[in-house]
Amino acid sequence: MPTHFSPEGLIAVRVAMSTLLFWLVSLFYGRTEPLPTLRQHILLMRCAVTGVMINQLFFFKGLALTSTSHASLIMTATPILVLILSAFLLRQRPGSQQWVGIILGFIGAAWLVFQGSSGKTAGQSSVLGDVYILINAISYGLYLVWVKPLMLELAPMNITKWIFLYASPFLIFWGWNDVNDVNWGGIGLLDWMALAYVILFTTGLAYGLNALAIQKASPELVGSYIYLQPLLAIVICISLGLDQLSISSFTAGLFILLGVWLVSTRKKLFRLTH
């Protein structure tokens, strides 16, 4: 993240600018969409809390305390969490193969969290940072489950612009002091480019495409594609010398990825019997 911003300050700027971006885009895309009803506004607020507020706060706080490899590997637990939440909230019962995947993913995530309990140094992780990332993953899993029914009633851009509008006042207020402390004149070109990338691509494009994907597919399927994140993040960070991956972390990551694959695959590989 840009070095001139604290996690709270970056979140405030990111959400404020992304909200403006989504509403500007909505002027040209989806102008004929009707306004949400009161019931839909309540559901949009719930999605704003889980999909933006808690998600953003705990992700950036966790990322500041843990390593990139740990954060990206723990995030792969999202499809497993989506499956568990769908079972409780949408009454979709997992099969035996999916339960095996859930258990493997839990073992891998717990392994990563507890091996970071010695505190964070260069390339290492703290248990608090890993727990923050895990809370972020749970929150985003809830968002994927809760936003799916709304997709049957409202257009993706309509949903995205409203959840950011509802989330932005709280997040801007939370990070306002940090934004005031930023030395804006000292921000270099590379930091401006990094901030623009965060706003345009990792927020605007990511949330927009996720909304379109959720409209066409199940929350479990959309969540399962997050397994690409750790592979790309770890390869990039290690190649740039920004992080390191231990054998223990690699093994824990394999547990998570195997669990995700068992949860998301449609093919029945085995069936547990009594």
Any domain includes 37:
yes
* Structural domains in the chain (count): 1
pLDDT (tens digit per residue) in 156-165 = 889 999 999 9
pLDDT (tens digit per residue) in 208-253 = 887 777 777 666 666 656 655 655 666 676 677 766 667 877 787 7
Any domain includes 21:
yes
Around Cβ 261, how many Cβ atoms within 10 Å?
Answer: 16
pLDDT (tens digit per residue) in 148-202 = 889 889 988 899 999 999 999 999 999 999 999 888 888 888 888 988 998 998 8
3-class SS string, 148-166 = HHHHCCCCHHHHHHHHHHH
pTM of the model: 0.74
Any domain includes 271:
no
pLDDT (tens digit per residue) in 122-137 = 445 578 888 898 898 8
Any domain includes 152:
yes
Average the pLDDT over 48-73 and give the result: 85
Any domain includes 236:
yes
Domain carrying residue 57: 7-264
CA distances from 267 to 98, 103, 261 (A): 11, 18, 10
Any domain includes 1:
no
Residues sharing a CB contact under 8 Å with residue 175, sequence separation 6 or more, in sequence order: 6, 8, 9, 10, 11, 12, 13
Would you state the structure tokens that stand for residue 126, as one six-digit string?
């703290």
Any domain includes 273:
no
Any domain includes 128:
yes
Closest CA to 128 of 113, 143, 145: 113
Mean per-residue pLDDT over the chain, rounded: 79
